[in-house]
């Protein structure tokens, strides 16, 4: 998917090794999101992005197999640096238009614990007065961005990463469910049930984000992502008359070869059928892995 919005640092520097450097006066908590603890889900989503993970994202940003679908990165891939990755993390974490998680599988060794980044953007800039765009039902309209490491491809992680983010995003404050693991450094992980009103200055995470519509965009050449959106999630590319002027401009900016394809996912579709479909796929994949482990020679 695309990564089009650039953040701006607001406020001064400061902060220590807790991922809060360069964030001005706001000290962000460290918390994990596990949307449905009863699912056999290998993935947790951590916020904010950690300095020690910059090297992993740098490797993704300079991987032709991952970033070759994004023109702006393809053009500068050879000149992209670890320092630039760090700069982007600080800027984007401070940007109120974004909420970005890092996806981990802690059962893997350190090098393969890091799966990728996923999150929302367009939280404030799409609408008037910094409140973000709203759909006809009053729900938030956000864009979803995802980038996964090459080693994670073909292992079912996209279903688990997306499930956690989508379920969190579509859940409203009244719906509850799920678990947020909050770790005020240096305390160990501990589960807390928190509410959206505590999110006002991002000092505590919410149970849900109250999204009504999620938008996706990817290069028309990105067949793997398009398959997931069109087959797994049953989404249909938006026709021109459904695109905003900005989306049309973004598509032109990406050029003919990588022209963006846009999709929308509505909360009603997620609640009524797609959530259960994705959950079933995650359970089936977990059962298959368990079977393979029991039948392998080393088991």
Q: Rounded to whole angstroms, how far apart are CA atoms 130 and 145?
A: 20
Whole-number Cα distances in Å, 81 to 53, 54, 64, 84, 162? 14, 10, 15, 5, 28
Q: Rounded to whole angstroms, how far apart are CA atoms 145 and 95?
A: 15
Specify the pLDDT at position 13.
29
Residue 297 located in a structural domain: no
* Residues facing residue 141 across a β-bridge: 213
User: What confidence category does residue 60 fall into, taking pLDDT thresholds of 50, 70 and 90?
Assistant: confident
Specify the pLDDT at position 126.
54
Q: What is the total count of domains within the chain?
A: 1
CATH number at residue 158: 3.40.630.30
Q: Which domain range does residue 193 map to? A: 31-290
Q: Rounded to whole angstroms, how far apart are CA atoms 40 and 37?
A: 8
User: What confidence category does residue 140 fall into, taking pLDDT thresholds of 50, 70 and 90?
Assistant: confident
For residue range 275-288, what is the model confidence (pLDDT) as tens digits? 999 999 999 999 99
* pLDDT value at 19 more than 60: no
Residue 3 located in a structural domain: no
For Cα atoms 94, 122, 136, give the angle at the middle one, nearest 5 degrees.
145
Residue 185 located in a structural domain: yes
Q: DSSP letter at 241?
A: G
Q: Rounded to whole angstroms, how far apart are CA atoms 113 and 262?
A: 30
94 or 73: which leads in pLDDT:
94
Residue 11 and residue 94 in contact, taking contact as beta carbons nearer than 8 Å: yes
Q: Rounded to whole angstroms, how far apart are CA atoms 61 and 250?
A: 20
Residue 19 located in a structural domain: no
Specify the pLDDT at position 172.
64
Specify the pLDDT at position 122.
83
Residue 270: strand, helix, or coil:
helix
Q: What is the mean pLDDT of residues 46-58?
A: 87
User: What confidence category does residue 96 fall into, taking pLDDT thresholds of 50, 70 and 90?
Assistant: confident
CB proximity list for 118: less than 8 A, separation 6 or greater? 45, 100, 101, 103, 144, 145, 146, 147, 161, 162, 165
Percent of the chain with pLDDT over 70: 69
Residue 18 located in a structural domain: no
Residue 99 located in a structural domain: yes
Q: Which of 3-7, 21-25, 147-151, 200-204 has the highest mean pLDDT?
A: 147-151
Specify the pLDDT at position 111.
66
* Exposure b/e, 261-271, CB count within 10 A at least 16 = b: bbbbbbbeebe
Q: DSSP letter at 188?
A: P
Q: What is the mean pLDDT of residues 154-183?
A: 73
* pLDDT value at 101 more than 80: yes
Q: What is the mean pLDDT of residues 235-242?
A: 96
Q: What is the mean pLDDT of residues 16-28?
A: 35
User: What confidence category does residue 70 fall into, taking pLDDT thresholds of 50, 70 and 90?
Assistant: confident
Specify the pLDDT at position 143.
93
Residue 285: strand, helix, or coil:
helix
Residue 21 located in a structural domain: no
Q: Rounded to whole angstroms, how far apart are CA atoms 165 and 92?
A: 18
Residue 104 located in a structural domain: yes
Specify the pLDDT at position 123.
78
3-state helix, strand, coil in the chain (%, to 5): 40, 20, 40
Residue 14, by phi and psi: left (phi above 0), alpha (psi -120 to 50) or beta? left
Per-chain mean pLDDT for the chain: 75
């Amino acid at each position: 998917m695309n990564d089009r919005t650039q953040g701006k640092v607001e406020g001064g520097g400061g902060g220590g090794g807790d991922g809060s450097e360069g964030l001005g006066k706001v000290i962000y908590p460290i918390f994990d999101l596990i949307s449905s603890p009863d699912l056999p889900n290998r993935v947790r989503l951590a916020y904010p992005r950690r300095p020690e993970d910059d090297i992993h994202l740098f490797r993704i940003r300079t991987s032709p197999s991952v970033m070759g679908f994004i023109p702006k990165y393809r053009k500068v891939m050879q000149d992209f640096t670890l320092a630039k990755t760090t700069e982007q993390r600080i800027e984007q974490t401070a940007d109120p238009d974004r909420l970005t998680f890092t996806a981990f599988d802690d059962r893997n060794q350190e090098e393969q614990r890091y799966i990728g980044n996923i999150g929302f953007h367009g939280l404030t800039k799409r609408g008037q007065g910094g409140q973000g765009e709203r759909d006809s039902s009053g729900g938030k309209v956000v864009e979803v961005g995802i980038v996964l490491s090459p080693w994670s491809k073909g292992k079912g992680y996209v279903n688990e990463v997306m499930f956690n983010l989508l379920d969190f995003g579509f859940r409203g404050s009244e719906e509850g469910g799920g678990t947020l693991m909050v770790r005020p450094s240096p305390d160990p992980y501990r589960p807390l049930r928190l509410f959206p009103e505590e999110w006002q200055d991002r000092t505590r995470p919410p149970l849900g984000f109250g999204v009504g519509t999620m938008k996706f965009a990817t290069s028309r050449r990105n067949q793997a992502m398009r398959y997931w959106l069109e087959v797994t999630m049953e989404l249909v590319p938006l026709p021109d008359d459904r695109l905003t002027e900005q989306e049309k401009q973004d598509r032109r900016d990406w050029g003919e070869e990588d022209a963006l394809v846009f999709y929308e996912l509505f909360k009603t579709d997620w609640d009524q059928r797609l959530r259960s479909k994705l959950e079933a796929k995650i359970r089936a994949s977990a059962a298959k892995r368990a079977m393979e482990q029991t039948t392998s020679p080393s088991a």
